[in-house]
Amino acid sequence: MLRRTMDINPFKYCSGLRYLGYLMIFMVLGIIALSYWAVIVLVWGPKLIHGGAPAVLAAFIVLLFHVLLILLTWSYFMVVFRDPGSIPQNWAPVLDVNLEEGTSSSSLATPWPASNGSERRSTVGYCSRCQNPRPPRCHHCSVCQKCVLKMDHHCVWVVNCVGARNYKFFLLFLIYTFLETTLDTFALLPKVIALFGEARKHSASPGNLAVMVLAFVLNLAFALSLLCFVIMHATLLWSNTTTIEVYEKKRDKKETASRWKYDLGWRKNVEEVFGTKKALWFLPMFTKDDLDNVPSLQGTHFPVRDDSES
d(Cα 85, Cα 298) in Å, to the nearest integer? 8
Cα dist from 63 to 51, 66, 256, 265, 309, whole Å: 16, 5, 46, 37, 47
d(Cα 234, Cα 244) in Å, to the nearest integer? 15
Catalytic, 130? Answer no
Give the residues across from 109 on adjacent strands.
Answer: 123
d(Cα 136, Cα 126) in Å, to the nearest integer? 10
User: Residue 115's closest CA among 238, 259, 264, 258?
Assistant: 264
d(Cα 26, Cα 136) in Å, to the nearest integer? 35
d(Cα 61, Cα 39) in Å, to the nearest integer? 9
Of 141, 144, 147, 155, the catalytic one is 155
Q: Which residues are catalytic?
A: 155
